[in-house]
Amino acid sequence: MYLLKFFPMIFTSKEERRKFHDSFKGCFILLILIASANICSGLTDQVEVSALKAIHRDVGDVLNRLSNWAGDDPCGSGWTGVICETINGTGHVTELRLLNMNLTGSIAPDVGNLTELVILDFMWNNITGSIPPEIGNLSKLYLLLLNGNKLTGELPPELGNLSQLNRIQIDQNNISGPIPSTFQFLNNAKHFHMNNNSLNGSIPPELGRLENLVHLLLDNNDLSGELPAELSNISTLLIMQLDNNHFSGSIPSNYSQLGNLRKLSLRNCNLTGVIPDVSAMSNLGYLDLSSNQLTGQLPLAISQTITTIDLAYNKLDGDIPDALYKLRGLELLFLQNNFLNGTFNGSIMEHDLFANASSVLILDIQYNNITDYQSGALLSLSNVTLRLYGNPVCNDNSLGGNICNEYNGSILNLSLPNTATSPSLECSSELTCDPSRNFELVYGLSLLYGECHCAYPLNIGYRLKSPGFAIFPPYEDGFQVHLSSGLNLSVYQVNVSSYNWEPGPRLSMNIKLFPNNTTNEFTEAEVDHLFNTFTSWIIPDNYTFGPYELLFFNKDFPYNGTLSPGTTSSLSGGAIAGIIIGVIIFTGVLVAVFVILIAKRQQRYAKARRHHERIKVAGVKDFTYEEMTKATNNFEGSTEVGQGGYGKVYRGTLADGTVVAIKRAQEGSLQGAREFFNEIELLSRIHHRNLVSLIGFCDDEDEQMLVYEYMENGTLRDHLNLSSKQPSNFVTRIQIALGSARGILYLHTEANPPIYHRDIKASNILLDSNRRAKVADFGLSRLAPVAELEGDTGGHVSTVVKGTPGYLDPEYFYTHKLTDKSDVYSFGVVLLELITGMQAITKGKNLVREVNLAYEAGMLLSVVDPRMGPYPAECLRPLVSLAISCCQDDTDSRPSMSEVVRELEAIWSLIPGKDTMGSLETSISTDSGVNYSKGLYFNNSFASSEVSGSGLMSGTIPHVAPR
């Protein structure tokens, strides 16, 4: 069942799916029988039975949730929340899951007699008293989950004996006293979540010995003393969040060695001194040192990965260093209430707006000493907010807009510009779900198909404890991918129905999980599995989203009959009350920057001065206008086959019967005769089997035309479109990729002077009658104002970038420096199109970003085009790796075209039995003697979340964080 759900797209027909389903169901039932036999056999260990009874006695079970705790065999008779394993014929309690049961009272010390316990979970109850030191006897304990209660007293030093402990969650209690120095012995611990208590004293320097610690959350306590320099030894640390304590002294300068740190949050900690050098934290995404008494300058160098910087309410001075203006992924820069001076330099703000339509940039510099403002183009965009109130530059109020208006919002309620989340999906057919049955509409596979159905959702309360961003919309898609992959669901089965920022900042959300599209209801086993996945923290950690907590797991109709513990949202102490308030619906008003830019496309009308002298170029024919009109039946509408930047394209038949493609320059693309001649001369010398060849030209009667060989099978784009009747199989796609790569390589290395195509895209790759790929339109970028994107709206020098949105090299976009690597980027996008069948930009989604998200989440199978049929799994991975490495932002990390060709040849050589597959147009069938078994899909390592680089490619795939 699960497997079926995990890979919903891999069955080519419904029938196959059903067959598989039936056989798998058999196995599944068998497995359940084996598993339950295991649980049922043998009586429960009697020491443990009395320990459970003692626990039952001491907790107040006001709702009688533990009413079935009767008799002497908890393992045999299935006591609520008790999970057992049979060891040497006797049942032992391995998990105690009593979350969300409105329990009061205290935890009996006898819990220490459950010696096989691995998970101890009392989350979200109203338990009082202190943590029994006897818990320190549970030598196998892996998860200690006591958060969200009313525990008091001190932390027992005995907990330091828990050598297997992975996670200690005691946050949101009233625990006081010091952090025991014995916690240094928890050397398997990865997660210390002790925030929101009353812990006091200083952080024990010995904690620096915790060599596996990943998350250190001690915020909202009464900790004091100096921050121990020893914590810099925890090289594994990703999140250090210590806000709202009362430390003294400065931030140890050696924290700059914490090279893996993703988030450093020391807000409101009474710290003095200067900001340590953060330049070596190459993955830093979130830096909050606000509300301290820090002095000195802003950081001069900071990681390009940073999205959020909050240094407000300090005593920082000097000007804003250039480095801060050059952070492309920046979303939020809070510097208000410092002593910063100098000029605010808007013009050099290079924000990564192009790559991500939903990104925003908020700059709050209020209450400083900024005296000048140098305007910048991007600041006039609606996605960018700048606040300068309270600076001398605002004295004469000449800046306009809202720049000089006072603003008092906190980081929790940023007034965001009109951003859009994922554009609303559409169902392929109209469907209304019966509201009387609690059904809700589920959209089909979000990235590809609009297949919809009605189903019962499971409602989940979920909270990110320490997210690595402050603005959610740009991350929402990535979050869906992350969570669905962690739950082994498809992306369309996970829906964030509302979210709300809380102090911390923490992000709490209401999530709906939907059954897959073969059913309208989860099975009991599926519900249990999902519940276990959440509460066992099996979902892999994610750097961007940070640790999560499950707030509730709501089993409304029809799920209220199911077994697992925990119901409804009756949470402890009102702490969670009011979490989910407003439903924020971001409607599909996409303020996509590239759309604006395209709309402002500039038209250059070159007045053509026509000379009617005939020109001669060896090897190409010089056609008259009359010949062209004859060939196209006077440019009749029915002969029109396309439209490019240069002009319209017609299918023509020459007098000798040759079919040709005629590109007719439109007004504005007309060249002077000499330039036109030069281009023809250049193009006439270029011959390669993977380049569309020029047959002739026409320069007559104030018209210019180029005559090319005609490509029967149209463009690659048409071919990949959903409407295509004969989508290519994998082998053909690799051939197309290899062919076009060779064509581009020829342009880069053999043409003299080298030709950078500038407009590689699927619609510029044509397929001949054998489906051989030929690159078209090379050299035309010099002839025609292709797609021009005006990059400046601020009255400065207008710069023009040529290319097509979605394929455009971001480096070229920023620097306007054209290199061979710009073509490599665009070619990478074409590879992604071949793999996914999707377009470079669909409904505001950028393909490069979508695939990176899926790749990062280990969910690549969800984006692979199912229409290409079976493929050898070992070929897919290097292909995707290659595509992703071509599409890296950094020019230098992209391979050259010759490396691309070599890699594609290597992939080609890996395809088993391709030689026996006959000619190009033969489609592969499973009976061609090649073993394309379905098993290939399940062995595919993309199914796991740990995908490493290709093996074939040298150099590794960068970790691409969703923005």
Ligand X SMILES: *[C@@H]1O[C@H](CO)[C@@H](O)[C@H](O)[C@H]1NC(C)=O
Q: Which residues are annotated as a binding site for ATP?
A: 663
CB atoms within 10 A of CB 671: 20
Backbone dihedral region of 577: left (phi > 0), alpha (psi from -120 to 50 degrees) or beta?
Answer: beta
Backbone dihedral region of 105: left (phi > 0), alpha (psi from -120 to 50 degrees) or beta?
Answer: left
502 or 792: CB nearest ligand X: 502
111 or 695: CB nearest ligand X: 111
Placement of tokens 């036999």 in the chain: 37
56 or 610: CB nearest ligand X: 56
54 or 920: CB nearest ligand X: 54
Cα distance between the two ends of the chain: 34
243 or 777: CB nearest ligand X: 243
Distances 419 to 46, 416, 470, 593 between C-alpha atoms, Å: 60, 7, 14, 11
Specify which residues 720 forms β-bridges with. Answer: none
**Minimal distance in Å, beta carbon 565 to ligand X?**
19
Q: Is 78 exposed, middle or buried (0-12, 13-18, 19+ CB in 10 A)?
A: middle
Contact present, 461 and 550 (Cβ < 8 Å): yes
Q: Where are the alpha helices (DSSP H) in 41-159?
A: 46-58, 74-77
Strands (E), 503-541: 506-513
Amino acid of residue 69: W
DSSP assignment of 661-710 equals EEEEEPTT----HHHHHHHHHHHHT---TTBPPEEEEEEETTEEEEEEE-
What is the rounded CA–CA span in Å between residue 24 and residue 22? 5
Contact present, 412 and 503 (Cβ < 8 Å): yes
Q: Is 323 exposed, middle or buried (0-12, 13-18, 19+ CB in 10 A)?
A: middle
Helix (H) or strand (E) holding 881: helix 873-886
Helix (H) or strand (E) holding 826: helix 820-836
192 or 650: CB nearest ligand X: 192
Placement of tokens 């061979």 in the chain: 820
Q: What is the DSSP letter of 89?
A: T
C-alpha Rg value of the chain to the nearest Å: 32
348 or 577: CB nearest ligand X: 577
Q: What is the DSSP letter of 476?
A: H
> Which tokens go with 701?
């009667």
Per the annotation, binding residues are 663
**Minimal distance in Å, beta carbon 726 to ligand X?**
33
Pairing of strands 703-709, 659-665: antiparallel
461 or 779: CB nearest ligand X: 461
Distances 478 to 37, 306, 889 between C-alpha atoms, Å: 41, 17, 19
373 or 855: CB nearest ligand X: 855
Q: 274-279: list long-range contacts, CB under 8 Å, 24+ apart.
A: 274/250, 275/251, 275/299, 275/311, 275/316, 276/251, 276/252, 277/253, 277/301, 278/302, 278/303, 279/303
Residue 73 bears catalytic tag: no
**Minimal distance in Å, beta carbon 95 to ligand X?**
16
Q: Specify the 3-state DSSP secondary structure of 437.
A: helix
**Minimal distance in Å, beta carbon 554 to ligand X?**
20
**Minimal distance in Å, beta carbon 496 to ligand X?**
19
120 or 661: CB nearest ligand X: 120
**Minimal distance in Å, beta carbon 556 to ligand X?**
23
Binding site for ligand X (CB under 6 A): 6, 47, 50-51, 54, 110, 113, 172, 176-177, 196, 200-201, 220, 244, 488, 502-503, 533, 538, 575, 943
> Which tokens go with 607?
């007045």
Active-site annotation holder among 121, 310, 759, 809: 759
Q: What is the largest CA-CA distance in the chain?
A: 106
Short-list 259, 249, 298, CA closest to 275: 298
Give the catalytic positions in this structure.
759
